[in-house]
Amino acid sequence: MDNINLVFDENLLKKAIFPCDSPQRISIKDDFFTSSAVLFSIIPYEDKPYELILIHRSNRGSRHRGEMSFPGGKFEYLLDSSLKDTALRETEEEIGVPREKVKILGCLDDFPTMTRYIITPFLGLIDKNQVLIKDEREVQRILKIPIDFFTSKINFREQSVDIEERKFPIFYFNYIDDTSGQKYTIWGATAYLITIFIEKVYGFNMSELGLERFKLEKIKHLKEYIKYRNQITKKF
């Protein structure tokens, strides 16, 4: 993808993604799964590739601790009137960006995770001059990673894992921060979201294995996924 222009183009992105209320967008509801939303956070520039905002989560909580992700979390009935509210509320809580400072462009398809969440991804713009303030309880660090890091096949990794007699794809990126030298592994739902986004917007397929993630009904009947999860992360 060396010859592709990765300077932010709003029209290009809007053509590739869905309006959030589009009947063509895959929207999933299931009582067995927890409804959640993330903000696929984009910082646009006029003269260089745009950046994605990701967070390195703290070690609090029982799931997804210490992982890299987009700002987001589960739908809260007492706080949110919609999943869009969830994405904007969590963005404000986790990285300090008020909801009125986020421009929503559209959505990607919902998808179920192996940890039994259904994620609704909202794509949103955040100004390059916006101050980002991490939630000390939930976020270890906020990172801005240029999109051309993710579109480079040199940085993309994939493996297949045998889960209950079927092969499951694992995508991941190992990002080395220039200032600290620390390695951050972006994997799971977040890496999957980024690769799907690249495929939809730029028509470029990152994966060579061509394996499909499990559908909702298959995930429902999985047992002991945490055992497989630990097996997966040892290989990064």
Contact 108, 193 (CB under 8 A): yes
2 assigned to some structural domain: no
CATH number at residue 119: 3.90.79.10
37 assigned to some structural domain: yes
Reported confidence tier of residue 164, pLDDT bands at 50, 70, 90: confident
1 assigned to some structural domain: no
Q: Print the domain residue range for 138.
A: 10-233
156 assigned to some structural domain: yes
3 assigned to some structural domain: no
- Summarize pLDDT for 40-76 with one digit per residue, the tens: 999 999 999 999 999 999 977 545 568 999 999 999 9
26 assigned to some structural domain: yes
Compute the distance between CA of residue 140 and CA of residue 49 in angstroms, rounded to an integer: 25
- Ramachandran area for residue 2 (φ above 0: left; ψ -120 to 50: alpha; else beta): alpha
5 assigned to some structural domain: no
Reported confidence tier of residue 16, pLDDT bands at 50, 70, 90: very high
* Residue 230: pLDDT over 80: no
Compute the distance between CA of residue 107 and CA of residue 93 in angstroms, rounded to an integer: 21
Number of structural domains the chain divides into: 1
Whole-prediction pTM value?
0.93
- Reduced DSSP (H G I as helix, E B as strand, rest coil) percent helix, strand, coil of the chain, to 5: 25, 30, 45
**pLDDT value, residue 236:** 73
**pLDDT value, residue 64:** 59
81 assigned to some structural domain: yes
Of residues 116, 115, 107, 134, the one with CA closest to residue 193: 107
In which residue are the tokens 């992105």 written?
13
